[in-house]
Structure 1
């Protein structure tokens, strides 16, 4: 008989997911090919084959195999893989269409809390699809639609960090605390997920790997109290339980062997190939049963007599399996009352003193069940009577005074012989049983703590879910606060509020702050403020913590370029090339190294290689433009900068480059426009503001230039360039006193700057202070001998002006 198609495909699917989960993509791809050959028209087989191709980096193959069902939107997995392939291949409208057509399959899905070590959902939910759709819209330059998708994704799942990064890239204003906060929707999702986790955890507790715990739900064939067959098989299987206990230090559970197949079925239902809804129903069914000790069923005496009759030899040393009872039966059998009375009658004649003992110290059982009331009774019956259900009404007078004393002596002797195994019998099921080795005066005294322990179990089980839920809420709130801080810092950095971003990141806990990502963001913040020495410190720490990190290393190479640290720059380029030769960051570092050595042609080759590896790497295009400007190839520089803006419209460096090129070409209006575009993106950059002021100054608009320079000085009080240009414009406007104030501050900031002293000399010349003018001209001449001709001309003109003044006098 040939196997069914459903079973074969199910086995193949489980094997594929097994290999995918273990990152064995080649094996998964081979198996997906077998499944697709077996079911070439099935959407699931096409999805798995396309998924394996996508994860192995074969994007075009993933596009081809998922197109049939993905383009039409008939299968969510195919549509999702197809859209991912379209994003990589640049076919953005096709991916958007596929996701829109499959909207009915994902719009209502939310897999919050449905992923764990043993469970996962292999198809995406609405948040994941919306995030991918937002990326497609953003790549297609439909920013409004991208923003809507990102916002909807974050509403469903605030931890969708990719969606938040996409929102920052679009340039919209974001109220970060409104994203990362506890909402009623989150609370409801958390409650449902915690209930699911409780179900799974209770199911795991029901099927442990070790033999010490019992199974909460067993069928009648494995219940040691139900039938003769199960009891007989249990004794035959675990007859050597004393040896097992010596080896493992634990008792053998009959129930754990009787239901060894149940956990395997449970695992199967949690794999993606199974039906998750069935597994959830199964878990719910198990945990609904009340945790109450069952009442003893009938035919107990007959069972014991039959066993003793069948086994004429000595029984095993300890009948541990008889202490195992299921706890989930809710209905007692109809003849339980008669069983209780029978046990009470049997217990009147129990005598334990005259027993044989084995080597291990346990009581050996007699070969035949005694029929006389005063005859010694088998140990198994004594165990049954000691561990009777808590509902039994056995009084403390069931044992005589003499029998009670003899029992105490016997138990004391047994405790010496068995120090590790005997006390574990009473704890096997629930923890509310009595130890065999304990002494007690009567059954009534022992029943009271058992009942209270049972009640304690009920209270614990009722408090457990609420306690776990409150802890889950606390954990989720803590995570939301952490994400809110990280997001606030990143958003401030995206808006180039660098000082604010630095403060936010510095306020993080040490464990979160001392991570490569956070330290890189702090380094970027200092880089944007032109504080290159501080930025270098943080990037050095990043490299020491994560030597193979590539992200943000192009910024680090530019920092070293500004610091003129040629050796470290060359070493960084060498390290990055060893890490990944196909990364654009590595080629940028190599290009910066060549650029610092004035080898612009080699630098251009490296920057072009970087943009070939990643066409969306805007910074590579900008660096190309800088090299073209250094070679005075302005047309090529304009093309490079425009490519950078196409890759990232918010890349202000490319806008700045365009303004610089137009300024050099004498197109001042175009230069002003592009400088203003760059300043709108990065309003806190004093260099951009100074560029606008410089263009206005060239356009004979000194008042406008003065306003820009004043703004630049406010943004960067320690900027020498902004203050110098402000003082120069004030001199042009004949605001000599204000100019003198600025230059005095500037002289303290940059005492070794020749231009400052030269401008001070000219100012004192205008103020007719010849001595101070000569003093500063001389200082400027000493600081910059190359400009001696200009300074000497200024000093000579100083004498001419003085002579003219004297003649006029």
Structure 2
């Protein structure tokens, strides 16, 4: 009877019939109470988004697999201290972390979200040393800025580690099968025995847990499944009713293209350039002529100076503070990863805790079926002492692995060479390219990342994930037209994927593409109403319409759905600042930093708040922190230089502006600020020369003419001053600038030293 019930539960899980699996597993536990059967029941609950049920079932259990499942349920309920205690037994600190690589990965996540970076890095590296194919661990290392070069992580040591694991799995499989056959000869298969039941439950739990969510700690499945309350605190989601999407809304039909020049059938995966690169595949779909443009009104005064704004719009929308022009030279869509939006922006995703294989029962023997890598192996079961298992492999233990491979029987060595070695080398080669590109993206070496992504074969490059990383890289380079292009292709390749869509919505915000942004928000909501990216896009849509209160509610909804989504906290901060609620804005930014300390957009947002409050020391500190994380951003350099200027550190300010101009020659903000610094240093001729060049590039910016008027006034050239003040007014500047310019005209013949007394 026990065997029949177990088979029924397994079958229901394989067919995604979780309710039936839970019902039958409850019958199993009632009839045959054991901790291993409770593990199976807890796994069923976790699969059905009921982490709280698994938590109560497994609380107080001691087996390693039970502790691991209990830790996962705690993690999803945001009970991180209990999760850590379950993985590290308080009464046995020397006990091994359960489930090897998966256990270390889970510990790494716990330490990351409790702000213990060094320990998080240690456990992510341990996970990779045990399982070199655990990409999620390398991804986390990249996000933390602690990843080694991909060539060293996915190199020869990793290949030998995979061979050793395969050898151990084969031996364990043979021993297991022989044991089952012996039991058959004596008394048939005893499904009630503790050993077999433990192994059975272990493997089915491995299958159940292979898809722990990447986005939301309170939901095991993605794609519209209802989320569960986090220990009762978020049970009420007040702003919106969010039922699961209708089946018709989740059809596989791709939406119409969002770019008018995109081919409706998507990129041709077979299209190659002369050099065999995927460059032509990306560029062939959109042939819109390149154009230079300067977004009107983007250049504003800062803290009482011209080129200021009503407040920082988006920390990831740094270029929204400056006029962004697009290079007319031919560019291609190629690579990135993080962040971020910094790292992005969305680098704070919650990664999955996965098993890489699952054993299912077939006939009277146990066979291993890999559901992910296609490699047949058995998961380590530390509740069975008689089964040979793979153990932790130090990354430098190359000699011992080579010796073990050398002692293999000749037939097995040939088998490994023909199947495992070949497959492993191909997979690792792919991970080396992807890993290095992603690592470079997280370090904000975006052009290098784009070049690395171009090394991928076409069929890998033209996938939704890669094209989204390409879009993120262009976003960091403030090339919004190419970003739009890349994300449009990503949508065509994977219309069901939400990867990077929060960033894409920010790009459309900057481009003022209100129709495309509205369309994107509706598509994302219909695809998955429970994804934070969907509500970030909706919030950006309202923010573009200057409805900041509604935008804030949408961003808060994203935070409720995933409290570890750093970009949603940052967007809340931006909206609070737009509403001039600086206190809550600072709180939102701090929440984002607790999730991801490398989220440079948040440091930038805090710097902007303190700059507006004229707390220049604080402003400099936060801009400098952002600069240390992303030292390639022209916009961050510009604002750091602005803080130096406010602190009367003119030489440092001028040096920083020169760096900003070299970093991005298309960004006019540092050029304008350089002129401002030269004026403060009374180098009027040099300032006028800089402004004349800027006027050619941005002929419709009133702030440029206003500053020139100020210079001519201070040089006692009143006719030219009046002319330029008039030109500035003709260009219809913002209301605050109008008042400043009119005041300057009224005091045109008043000496500067007497202006303050009037």
Structure 1 and Structure 2 fold alike (TM over 0.5): yes
Matched residue count: 537
Structure-2 change in CA distance of 1:156 and 1:173 (3 Å): closer
Residue of structure 1 equivalent to 2:243: none
1:352-407 per-residue CA deviation (whole Å, 9 max, x = no partner) reads: xxxxxxxxxxxxxxxxxxxxxxxxxxxxxxxxxxxxxxxxxxxxxxxxxxxxxxxx
Residue of structure 2 equivalent to 1:723: 671
Residue of structure 2 equivalent to 1:156: 130
Residue of structure 2 equivalent to 1:9: 2
Residue of structure 2 equivalent to 1:756: 704
Structure-2 change in CA distance of 1:684 and 1:192 (3 Å): closer
Q: 2:115 aligns with which of 138, 141, 160?
A: 141
C-alpha RMSD of matched pairs (Å): 3.9
Q: 2:468 aligns with which of 520, 526, 532?
A: 520
Residue of structure 1 equivalent to 2:328: none
Counterparts of 2:502 and 2:362, CA distance in 1: 51
Matching of residues 205-604 of structure 1 within 5 Å? 265=363, 267-268=365-366, 466=414, 469-470=417-418, 472-604=420-552
In structure 2, the residue corresponding to 1:19 is in which secondary structure?
helix
Q: 2:140 aligns with which of 150, 158, 166?
A: 166
In structure 1, the residue corresponding to 2:6 is in which secondary structure?
helix
Structure-2 change in CA distance of 1:795 and 1:89 (3 Å): closer
What is the CA distance between 1:508 and its match in structure 2?
Answer: 1.6
What is the CA distance between 1:56 and its match in structure 2?
Answer: 0.9
Return the structure number with greater relative CO, CA threshold 8 A, min gap 6.
Answer: 2
Counterparts of 1:682 and 1:462, CA distance in 2: 52
In structure 2, the residue corresponding to 1:601 is in which secondary structure?
helix
In structure 1, the residue corresponding to 2:88 is in which secondary structure?
helix
What is the CA distance between 1:750 and its match in structure 2?
Answer: 2.1
Extract unaligned runs of 5+ from structure 2: 178-184, 186-360, 370-377, 389-408, 752-758
Counterparts of 2:65 and 2:387, CA distance in 1: 22
Residue of structure 2 equivalent to 1:56: 48
Counterparts of 1:585 and 1:711, CA distance in 2: 34
Structure-2 change in CA distance of 1:87 and 1:791 (3 Å): closer
What is the CA distance between 1:765 and its match in structure 2?
Answer: 7.0
Instruction: Confirm or deny that 1:85 pairs with 2:78.
Output: no
Counterparts of 2:715 and 2:683, CA distance in 1: 11
In structure 2, the residue corresponding to 1:68 is in which secondary structure?
coil
Q: 2:163 aligns with which of 190, 196, 199?
A: 190
Q: Is the 1:600–1:631 contact (alpha carbons within 8 Å) kept by the matching residues of 2?
A: yes
Counterparts of 1:621 and 1:64, CA distance in 2: 31
Residue of structure 1 equivalent to 2:224: none
What is the CA distance between 1:685 and its match in structure 2?
Answer: 1.8
In structure 1, the residue corresponding to 2:60 is in which secondary structure?
helix
What is the CA distance between 1:280 and its match in structure 2?
Answer: 10
Extract unaligned runs of 5+ from structure 1: 1-7, 110-123, 205-218, 220-262, 282-460, 802-809
Q: Is the 1:269–1:278 contact (alpha carbons within 8 Å) kept by the matching residues of 2?
A: no
Structure-2 change in CA distance of 1:762 and 1:631 (3 Å): closer
Residue of structure 1 equivalent to 2:641: 693
Residue of structure 1 equivalent to 2:36: 44
Q: 2:659 aligns with which of 711, 714, 720?
A: 711
1:182-215 per-residue CA deviation (whole Å, 9 max, x = no partner) reads: 21x64264166279779999x99xxxxxxxxxxx
Counterparts of 1:706 and 1:609, CA distance in 2: 42
Q: 1:24 aligns with which of 10, 17, 36?
A: 17
In structure 2, the residue corresponding to 1:734 is in which secondary structure?
coil
Structure 1 window deviating more from structure 2 (789-798 vs 776-785): it is 789-798
What is the CA distance between 1:748 and its match in structure 2?
Answer: 3.5
What is the CA distance between 1:515 and its match in structure 2?
Answer: 0.7
Residue of structure 2 equivalent to 1:614: 562
Counterparts of 1:537 and 1:502, CA distance in 2: 14
Residue of structure 2 equivalent to 1:684: 632
Residue of structure 1 equivalent to 2:102: 128
Q: Is the 2:539–2:554 contact (alpha carbons within 8 Å) kept by the matching residues of 1?
A: yes
1:229-271 per-residue CA deviation (whole Å, 9 max, x = no partner) reads: xxxxxxxxxxxxxxxxxxxxxxxxxxxxxxxxxx975545669
1:272-292 per-residue CA deviation (whole Å, 9 max, x = no partner) reads: 9999999999xxxxxxxxxxx
Runs of 4 or more off by more than 4 Å in structure 1?
A: 102-109, 194-201, 263-281, 461-465, 760-782, 784-801
Residue of structure 2 equivalent to 1:324: none
1:621-660 per-residue CA deviation (whole Å, 9 max, x = no partner) reads: 2222222222222222222222222232222222222222
Structure 1 window deviating more from structure 2 (657-666 vs 713-722): it is 657-666
Counterparts of 1:468 and 1:274, CA distance in 2: 20
Counterparts of 1:279 and 1:24, CA distance in 2: 33
Structure-2 change in CA distance of 1:695 and 1:767 (3 Å): same
1:5-28 per-residue CA deviation (whole Å, 9 max, x = no partner) reads: xxx333433332333233332222
In structure 1, the residue corresponding to 2:643 is in which secondary structure?
helix
1:472-529 per-residue CA deviation (whole Å, 9 max, x = no partner) reads: 3233222212112211111222122222222211222211111111111111112222
Higher helix fraction (1 or 2): 1
Counterparts of 1:736 and 1:170, CA distance in 2: 46
Counterparts of 2:591 and 2:743, CA distance in 1: 47
What is the CA distance between 1:165 and its match in structure 2?
Answer: 2.0
Structure 1 window deviating more from structure 2 (699-708 vs 530-539): it is 699-708
In structure 2, the residue corresponding to 1:632 is in which secondary structure?
coil
Counterparts of 2:645 and 2:25, CA distance in 1: 68
What is the CA distance between 1:586 and its match in structure 2?
Answer: 1.4
Structure-2 change in CA distance of 1:481 and 1:689 (3 Å): same
What is the CA distance between 1:546 and its match in structure 2?
Answer: 1.8
Structure-2 change in CA distance of 1:102 and 1:52 (3 Å): farther
Q: 1:100 aligns with which of 88, 111, 115?
A: 88
Counterparts of 2:168 and 2:562, CA distance in 1: 45
Structure-2 change in CA distance of 1:523 and 1:485 (3 Å): same
Counterparts of 2:610 and 2:42, CA distance in 1: 49
In structure 2, the residue corresponding to 1:751 is in which secondary structure?
coil
Q: Is the 1:75–1:102 contact (alpha carbons within 8 Å) kept by the matching residues of 2?
A: no
Q: Is the 1:594–1:602 contact (alpha carbons within 8 Å) kept by the matching residues of 2?
A: yes
Q: Is the 1:269–1:279 contact (alpha carbons within 8 Å) kept by the matching residues of 2?
A: no
Q: Is the 2:474–2:482 contact (alpha carbons within 8 Å) kept by the matching residues of 1?
A: yes
Instruction: Confirm or deny that 1:746 pairs with 2:694.
Output: yes
Q: Is the 1:591–1:607 contact (alpha carbons within 8 Å) kept by the matching residues of 2?
A: yes
Tell me the TM-score normalized by structure 1: 0.60
Tell me the TM-score normalized by structure 2: 0.63
Counterparts of 2:132 and 2:379, CA distance in 1: 29
Counterparts of 2:114 and 2:642, CA distance in 1: 37
Q: 1:640 aligns with which of 569, 579, 588?
A: 588
Q: Is the 1:194–1:469 contact (alpha carbons within 8 Å) kept by the matching residues of 2?
A: no
Structure-2 change in CA distance of 1:754 and 1:15 (3 Å): same
Structure-2 change in CA distance of 1:484 and 1:105 (3 Å): farther
Structure-2 change in CA distance of 1:65 and 1:559 (3 Å): same
Counterparts of 1:78 and 1:628, CA distance in 2: 44
Counterparts of 1:791 and 1:265, CA distance in 2: 86
Residue of structure 2 equivalent to 1:176: 150
In structure 2, the residue corresponding to 1:547 is in which secondary structure?
coil
Counterparts of 1:188 and 1:600, CA distance in 2: 53
What is the CA distance between 1:532 and its match in structure 2?
Answer: 1.6
